[in-house]
Chain A
Amino acid sequence: MSNKKNWPLWEVFVRSKAGLSHRHSGSLHAADAEMALEMARDVYTRRNEGVSIWVVESNNILASDPDAKDALFDPANDKIYRHPTFYELPDEVKYM
């Protein structure tokens, strides 16, 4: 690792059009948030890819541990009653 003082890393999220969520586009280095936003514009929306951008410093993101994935998502595995297909309907009910 270098001991130079590098620009921190930022994650870039772009809303491609009104009505859609912001989606992760990638990351970049910038000295501060304003610069990150300007650079995100130049790097990730050169071809009208977006109408809105979020930037967030990468080390502010807490991510779940991939090795703990099974335990983390396990509670959802046996709850089939959360899905509409779990419930049987008489044929007479056409749409529900």
Chain B
Amino acid sequence: MAEKNLEQIFQEKVDNEIKIEPKDWMPDSYRKTLIRQISQHAHSEVVGMLPEARWITRAPSLSRKVALLAKVQDEAGHGLYLYSACETLGVERDDTIDDLHAGKAKYSSIFNYPTLSWADIGAIGWLVDGAAIMNQVPLCRCSFGPYSRAMVRVCKEESFHQRQGYSIMLKMANGTVEQKRMAQDAINRWWWPAMMMFGPNDAESDHSAQSMKWKIKRFSNDELRQRFLDMSVPQCQLLGCKVPDPDLKFNEETGHWEMGAIDWDEFWNVVKGNGKCNRQRLRDRKVAYDDGAWVRDAAMAYSEKKKARNSKMAAA
């Protein structure tokens, strides 16, 4: 009886757009859903640095290099905001990282594709960050306070990511024949994975209805995908590049672009761990984490030593 009342109070708050804060009562399933979603979002930010990081040293100019460096640094920061938001729900960051390394937690599948040329960095900024922004803007109004605040910060910083990507694409698409070929090739490889970033079609999406009721989610996967398509097609055309979708057509009546069918077998195959880079990404994450262990331990040991020395001096 009492439990039911709490649940009703909770849902009324959500319905009235009153944010839920960490110490407020919340249903266990709401807490679990958020821990899963926020930690996976955090992992995505961190793993997302890997495909781009290898291009920092290969950037074609100093200005492209500092911009990419700043973008990758932002992503580390975004991971941190998100882990912090997740920790307010009563989990420890290291435990969520252990889950990632044990293969128990997922991250966005998009980062399991390889970055083959400099144009890929342009395509990632433009399409991948573009799709991420489309997903994240509604999350700024998410019912859970710490998640929504983290998203406000992330979205503010991320609009530069998309622009720097499109700026690379513009340069390449208006460059030499070979640069144009690279731009088109990058679009061919990133277009569909970016469209898949919005998740399964609404009819197939397991968690959607509950997340909508809890106002964690505000728009359906297909709604967001449609908006992204309508934005991206003209941008692709402006580059003078071809959208790699033979069935793409503009519906004069609705004023919307209509895309061909998504290859969901590929999507699920990558989710299940069989993408081109799944193993490499996870291995790189683990190596970075394990190699950094001594630094974390040394800093902690130093801090404890200093504390002990200070209290000894205070006692003397």
Contacts and interface: CB of A to CB of B under 8 A. Distances in A.
Contacts of A2: 92, 94-95, 98
Q: Count chain B CB atoms within 10 A of each CB in A5, A31, A32 and give the residue with the most.
A: A31
Interface residue SS majority, chain A: loop
Given A42-B77, A43-B80, A65-B23, 9 more contacts: A2-B98, A6-B94, A26-B81, A26-B149, A32-B303, A46-B73, A46-B77, A46-B157, A63-B23
Given A43-B77, A46-B74, A67-B25, A32 B306 contact: yes
Interface stretch (B117-125, B180-188, B248-256, B294-302): B294-302
A1 B95 contact: yes
Contacts, number: 55
Interface residues of A, number: 22
A9 B94 CA distance: 12
A29 B93 CA distance: 9
A11 B297 CA distance: 21
Contacts of B306: 32
A1 B23 contact: no
Interface string B288-316: 00000000110110110011000000000
B50 interface: no
Interface of B: 21, 23-25, 70, 73-74, 77, 80-81, 84, 87, 92-95, 98, 149-150, 153, 157, 296-297, 299-300, 302-303, 306-307
A27 B94 contact: no
Contacts of B297: 5
A66 interface: yes
Contacts of A31: 296, 299-300, 302-303
Contacts of A27: 84, 87
6 contacts: A2-B92, A29-B93, A31-B303, A35-B303, A66-B21, A67-B25
5 smallest beta-carbon distances between A and B, as pairs: A31-B299, A32-B303, A31-B303, A27-B84, A66-B23
B129 to A, nearest CB: 17
